């Protein structure tokens, strides 16, 4: 039995492992480490499908496993991070007060502000998007709605901007609860919208056939060089704009 058919699934499990570690860090408010493991998971997510195609070992199991891994790395983690950011923006306390392990747990010890739970809508919308993707046979050359890894990058960029950019305006905006709630709703809509978005899959490398893809890649590199983590929301906006332009010009 050839071992090569297990290689893509192993890479997918590395994505799941990275996402699981990111969950632990996110729960403990270590957004930098959580972001690093999400980025690592998305890296594995890109290569598992590529390996499956190159090795010609695509399988129904691999498709399902990929979505399950994405659900954790690109669905659960950004939901937790948004929950935490909203809690931080309103000064909400930790979920449970510190207690001794030997003491009896009581629901009176829970401290959850209902408004913070809105952040978890990202996780729900991600699950719905991944389920739709698995049964949609049209999304071969494009994505219908924002892919969950792209959405995860958008959400994870927020704590990175706060941490690494000494920009009071950006920090004040990000830590505004209404901005975070609004972004959560926009994120949920984009994940499950019918907007046709570019897939970075090249059938050939000709410029005319891929001009929008090349424009996105080159612009993204330049934006990252100029603006670092602030570039990530700008790249997502550019991604949507270029995708809409491609969709309208190709009709």
Could you tell me the pTM of the whole model? 0.89
What separation in angstroms does the CA of 197 have from each of 131, 194, 230?
18, 9, 22
Mean pLDDT of 161-182: 94
For residue 241, the model assigns a pLDDT of 95
Reference 67, options 141, 2, 126; nearest CA is 126
pLDDT above 90 for 104: no
Q: CA-to-CA distance for 57 and 70, rounded, in angstroms?
A: 20
pLDDT, mean of residues 205-209 = 74
Q: What is the dihedral of CA 34, 37, 39, 44, to 10 degrees?
A: -150
Q: How sure is the predictor about 184, in pLDDT bands with cuts at 50, 70 and 90?
A: very high
**In contact, 230 and 163? CB cutoff 8 Å:** no
Helix residue ranges, H only, 76-230: 77-90, 121-135, 148-164, 168-174, 177-191, 207-227
pLDDT tens, position by position, 82-92: 999 999 999 86
Summary mean pLDDT of the chain: 88
Select the more confidently predicted residue: 71 or 56.
Answer: 71
Tell me what percent of the chain is helix, strand and coil, each rounded to the nearest 5: 75, 5, 20
* The pLDDT of residue 63: 86
Domain with CATH 1.20.120.1760 in the chain: 3-98+111-194
Predicted local confidence at residue 97, as pLDDT: 46
> Of the ranges 25-34, 95-104, 130-139, 216-225, which one carries the lowest mean pLDDT score?
95-104
The CATH architecture annotation of domain 3-98+111-194 reads: Up-down Bundle (1.20)
């Amino acid at each position: 039995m050839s071992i090569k058919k297990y290689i893509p699934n192993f890479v997918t499990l590395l994505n799941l492992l990275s996402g699981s570690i990111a969950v632990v860090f996110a729960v403990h408010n270590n957004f930098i480490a959580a972001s690093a493991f999400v980025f690592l998971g998305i890296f594995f997510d890109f290569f598992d499908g590529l390996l499956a195609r190159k090795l010609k070992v695509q399988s129904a199991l691999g498709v399902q496993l990929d979505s399950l891994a994405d659900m954790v790395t690109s669905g659960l983690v950004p939901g937790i991070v948004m929950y935490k950011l909203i809690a931080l923006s309103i000064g909400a306390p930790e979920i449970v007060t510190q207690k001794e392990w030997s003491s009896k747990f009581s629901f009176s010890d829970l401290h959850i502000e209902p408004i913070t739970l809105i952040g978890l809508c990202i996780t729900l919308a991600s699950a719905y998007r991944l389920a739709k993707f698995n049964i949609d046979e049209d999304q071969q050359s494009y994505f219908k709605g924002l892919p969950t890894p792209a959405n995860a990058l958008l959400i994870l960029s927020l704590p990175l901007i706060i941490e690494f950019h000494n920009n009071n305006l950006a920090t004040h905006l990000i830590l505004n609860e209404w901005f975070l709630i609004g972004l959560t709703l926009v994120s949920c809509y984009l994940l499950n919208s019918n907007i046709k978005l570019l897939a970075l899959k090249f059938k050939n490398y000709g410029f005319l056939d891929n001009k929008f893809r090349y424009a996105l890649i080159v612009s993204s590199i330049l934006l990252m060089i100029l603006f670092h983590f602030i570039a990530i929301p700008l790249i997502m906006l550019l991604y949507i704009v270029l995708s809409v332009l491609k969709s309208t010009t190709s009709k």
